[in-house]
Amino acid sequence: MSNNPIGIFDSGVGGLTIYQEIHKLLPNENIIYLADSKHAPYGEKTKQEIIDISVKNTEFLLSRKCKLIVVACNTASTNAVKYLREHYEVPFIRVQPAIKPAALNSKTKIVGILATKGTLESELLFETSQKFAQGVKVIRQIGEGLVTLIENGQMHSDQMRLLLEKYLKPMIDKNIDHLVLGCTHYPFLSDQIQEIAGKNVTILDSGEAIARQTRVILRQEGLLNTEKKSTSRI
Ligand code: DGL
């Protein structure tokens, strides 16, 4: 069982930012990455649609004998992981926007979060902000259109630059000192975002934390792969 693969899914290439961190931390693990481009973007779908898609992805990964599933998508994590955990026995790792470290380290007590509509409107995000960002103002911004541009290979286009400026400038004007990337596609834009936001804004994503959490759960469940050779199928 411990030689079985870890399954990872997202609406397309975004979860590769999580895959990279997991592969770095757990080089012995076999990994299957499911890029569900057919249903991208998830961010504008209803909760029920996101649950249905996540169930299909889970069934696919289980049919490939995955021992653990990483939902490498904030939108599916915030909307569907509760359902998945209630209906399947395999352990699920979910991603969570890094609101807690942003709030803890903020000096201005104003932080920004850029994420999909589906994530920003989820109950889980609301609860996380309530729990971890007491006394800190959290400015939310939907990154409409960003995932589609990334999926279409237009990451460095003028259109991308214009959208990023439109979304980021109002948050910067409100004096945020931390910006949470609440969508696994967005770390691909980190350099552009940093350039627009300036060096006084710290950009946070959850890739490393998810990889560490995956290792904790694999260890806890006795599922760590100790064989040297690993394979990835993407
Ligand atoms: N990368 C995903 C996320 O973290 C999906 C975005 C989308 O498909 O809209 O939310």
> Which of 33, 114, 147 to mutate for ligand 1's pocket (most ligand atoms within 8 Å of CB)?
147
**Which phi and psi (to 5°) does residue 58 adopt?**
-65, -45
Largest CA distance in the chain: 52
8 Å CB contact between 90 and 66: yes
What's the pLDDT at 59?
A: 98
Q: How many CB atoms lie within 10 A of CB 38?
A: 9
Q: How many CB atoms lie within 10 A of CB 198?
A: 9
What's the pLDDT at 227?
A: 83
What's the CA gap between 33 and 61, in Å, rounded?
A: 9
- H/E stretch holding 43 reads none
**CA 96, 174, 141: angle at the middle one, nearest 5?**
40
Confidence tier at 231 by pLDDT (50, 70, 90):
confident
Atom index in ligand 1 nearest the CA of residue 115 equals 10
What's the pLDDT at 177?
A: 98
pLDDT at 33 over 90: yes
What's the pLDDT at 215?
A: 98
Q: How many CB atoms lie within 10 A of CB 17?
A: 23
Q: What is the DSSP string of 111-135?
A: EEEEE-HHHHTSHHHHHHHHHH-TT
Hey, what amino acid is at 192?
A: Q
73 is catalytic: yes
**CA 78, 33, 102: angle at the middle one, nearest 5?**
40
What's the CA gap between 176 and 162, in Å, rounded?
A: 20
Q: Which of 76, 181, 183, 201 is catalytic?
A: 183
Q: What residues line ligand 1, using a CB cutoff of 6 Å?
A: 10-11, 14, 40-43, 73-75, 116, 119, 147, 183-185
Q: Write out pLDDT tens, residues 138-175.
A: 999 999 999 999 999 999 999 999 999 999 999 999 99
**Which phi and psi (to 5°) does residue 182 adopt?**
-95, 30
Question: What mean pLDDT is reported for the chain?
Answer: 95
Q: Write out pLDDT tens, residues 117-133.
A: 999 999 889 998 999 99
8 Å CB contact between 15 and 43: no
8 Å CB contact between 198 and 172: yes
What's the pLDDT at 226?
A: 84
66 is catalytic: no
**CA 149, 95, 97: angle at the middle one, nearest 5?**
75
Nearest CA to ligand 1 atom 2: 73
pLDDT at 230 over 90: no
- H/E stretch holding 75 reads helix 74-87
Q: Write out pLDDT tens, residues 78-103.
A: 999 999 999 999 999 999 999 999 99
